[in-house]
Structure 1
Amino acid sequence: MANKLKVAWFDGLNIGQTHFEQQERFFNRNIDLKTINIYSNLYGIIDLEFSQEMLLQGKIALSKISGIAQDGSIFNAPEQDLLPEPIEINYESLIDSVVVLKIPIGVTDIADLSLRNTFPNSKFICLRNSIALRNYDDSKSNVMDKIEDEYELENLTFTQEKKDLLLASLRLKLGILGNSTPDELELPIAKIKNIDINKKIELESDFIPTCLNISKISTIRSFLEEIIFSINQHKKVLSNVFKGIDQTKNTLDFGTFLSLNLLKKWYLIFSHLSKKDKIHPEFLYEKFLEFQGELAAFSNEESFLD
């Protein structure tokens, strides 16, 4: 059924709620076709912070979280959206369990929200907020005509009128991996390492959440720095070999020459990546594959490429 086409606007159309909802479906369809439908792995966490106080109480709660879900839904709590409710973890059987952020999937024939929040599993939560108008209507005011001083005019500010609006916040939930319903998406964000007798929760520090920016992950950054250091050490060794050849007038085998050039190339590439603020995990993985593929040229072992 063609339910995501644009509205056929015309003069005299009696505009209602349905028209705006349909136009929103059309816009979302356009965005999805240009993003998640043609690019893989375009989802994950952008920013994440757990409440340390709640962990001491045996609960998992977030201080902030932002990102993109698998269906293209965006969230940024608490700056824009509401934070998910904390969940209590008090069973030792949940050790090694993965904590996930659950995002409801919008279904065409089911309402996305209820104005009084009577639907507990709706995609959005309805909330009221005061929004300032962006435009000032000076056509209905003569205040500008009363200002004669140019300096006063340049430094004039107006307090914008505000309107109360009903807004829709994406309904975010916390849970354990595998316990979601078919109408929910899951984004792994943490792993439970230990729960002591006082119910204090310890999270796995080396766990990497499903994310869009891997440059902030300390484990990945340390691994990248180790690779850079190792490449630099091997590069220095081969450079000293070249210096010895220049002094003794001996020849160098072609493989050693290629090895030095390969190390110089990847030292520059990985050094550049280590300084970037944003790195997608798939991009970094592809760079590691490319590096491994070039190293395989100097190995006779077939398992090197497995």
Structure 2
Amino acid sequence: MPNVGVHRRLRDVQSPVVAPVITLLTDYGLEDGYVAACHGVILKIVPEARIIDLCHLIPSGDVRRGAAVLAQTLPYLPEGVHIAAVDPGAGGARRAVAVEAGGRILIGPDNGLLSWAIHACGGPSAAHEIVNDEFFLRPTSPTFPGRDVFAPVAAHLSGGRKLAEVGPELPINRLVSLPSPTSLLREGSVEGEVVSVDRYGNTQLSIAEGDLRSLGVRVGDTLDVRLGRRQLAMPFRETYSAVAPGELVAFADSAGLIAIAVNCGDAAQRLGLPPGARVKLAPL
């Protein structure tokens, strides 16, 4: 008779249980206990969860910046449940939603924050409004949905509860979407906008590296950069260090989008380029 206990142990070794992954993106900062509270709520419900802190330094209430960071980072993360809480409408009439997209579940306010990430995952397959307070922390604060709603809902879903249990299904076309950043090729130039500004002051544009290639621009060339009424000649290089400290440079960033930076400086501050500012590039 075979030793069942030995075979069972071998199966356990060969097929380890993979702990569920929950990620967090917020504008909570790191000076207070808000992030730790969210961790604690999750781990009390699913102690084996692996929590990845995607970012907690999104500028306060900057939904657009949060959407960009989430969409550009999510493809590199394991599948799981992803919480995003940049929520200037917390406590108001905006909905809380859970959206399934590309094998992932995204949880957050229905204010457009999730929309670019949902698109990056291939589009939504199901969406539900989060209203079932069986999943919520008690008592529930109207000003801290990240801790009292998003975190426990994410934990319960990671622990095996069904998406449909969180609340009624929503028509996918009723989800709030941010306008997608666009670029426009015309007359030997390409025009786009500043998608986001990172903590170094680098300005990421909606212009893709392929847009410049289609204009015949290659690394080593010089760009004609138009910012409103200003016109600059700017080197197009592979990285910051290709120019001297303090000099402006354009390059293709890690997301494949064109960025404008200052080596050892702050391009957004120097050029006055906030998110949404229009920029036109052309070969010089």
Q: Which has the higher contact order (CA 8 A, sep 6+)?
A: 1
* TM more than 0.5: no
TM-score by length of 2: 0.27
Structure number with greater Rg is 1
TM-score by length of 1: 0.26
Say which structure is richer in helix.
Answer: 1
